[in-house]
Amino acid sequence: MKKGKLFGVGVGPGDPELMTLKSVRVIEESSVIAVPGEAPENSVAYRIALRACPCLLKKETVALPMPMTKKEEVLKESHRQGAEILSGFLDQGKQVSFLTLGDPSIYSTYLYVKKILEGRGYDTEMVSGIPSFCAAAAALNVSLSEQAESLHIIPASYPIEEALKLPGTKVLMKSGKKLKQVKDQLLAAGSEVKMVENCGMEGERRYFSTREMPDEGSYYSLMIVKD
């Protein structure tokens, strides 16, 4: 039997209208919908997709437990188990859509599962989604880069002192728990900062200066720092 194909489908950052025509089509054509998490209906990516594709309710769904940990062994084991579950569907010739927030090529869990399955000879494809930083720029109605400016996407784990020295625009992602520390460094550097929390989701908030920003952010806090 011909094996099924695995799609890593970006559903964008929150607003279901920011899904692409291709994402909607690929989801509609898939027999199985996979999401990271304990239960599909609790997954943010699933809830976004459901609002644009009500057909999800009639599809086979599978949740792949992906613990939020930095322990490499635990992570690897969860990716291996996720790949194992998906290979079962692919071996039955079923097309699988693995939903990811934002774009699948940027910090997604899909990437790890895809690597394992590619190594085993399965066919995979990524379907681009709007990255959170583009939607944040739109929510704040500001540019990310103009003319000769470069644009740096920096996860919270990156040493921020170094990041702030880079020329161009800096997007600081996932600084949730470290927000107070990041805020103090931005105030000291005198940077021009804007922030969005939960962009395009319930509880979206926008901040137009460092002083306005709260001391604790969420996983979905994103800052745009200009020179």
User: Which of positions 49-78 make contact with its own copies (CB under 8 A)?
Assistant: 52
Q: Does 145 bind its own copies (CB under 8 A)?
A: yes
In sequence order, the 6+-apart residues with CB closer than 8 A to the CB of 84 are none
Between CA 129 and CA 106 the distance in angstroms is 10
Q: Does 149 bind its own copies (CB under 8 A)?
A: yes
Q: Which of 63, 64, 54, 7 is nearest to 30 (CA)?
A: 7
Q: Does 48 bind its own copies (CB under 8 A)?
A: no
Q: Does 187 bind its own copies (CB under 8 A)?
A: no
Q: Does 111 bind its own copies (CB under 8 A)?
A: yes
Interface pick for its own copies out of 146, 190, 211, 215 (rule CB under 8 A): 146
9: left (phi over 0), alpha (psi -120 to 50) or beta: beta
User: Least separation, in Å, of the C-beta of 156 and its own copies?
Assistant: 9
Between CA 135 and CA 125 the distance in angstroms is 23
Q: Which is nearer to its own copies, 201 or 214 (CB)?
A: 201
Could you tell me the CA-to-CA distances from 227 to 91, 101, 132, 171 in Å, in that order?
A: 51, 28, 21, 12
Q: Which is nearer to its own copies, 60 or 77 (CB)?
A: 77
Chain residues that interact with its own copies, rule: CB under 8 A: 10, 12, 15-22, 24-25, 52, 103-107, 111-112, 124-131, 134-135, 137-138, 141-155, 157-158, 163, 166
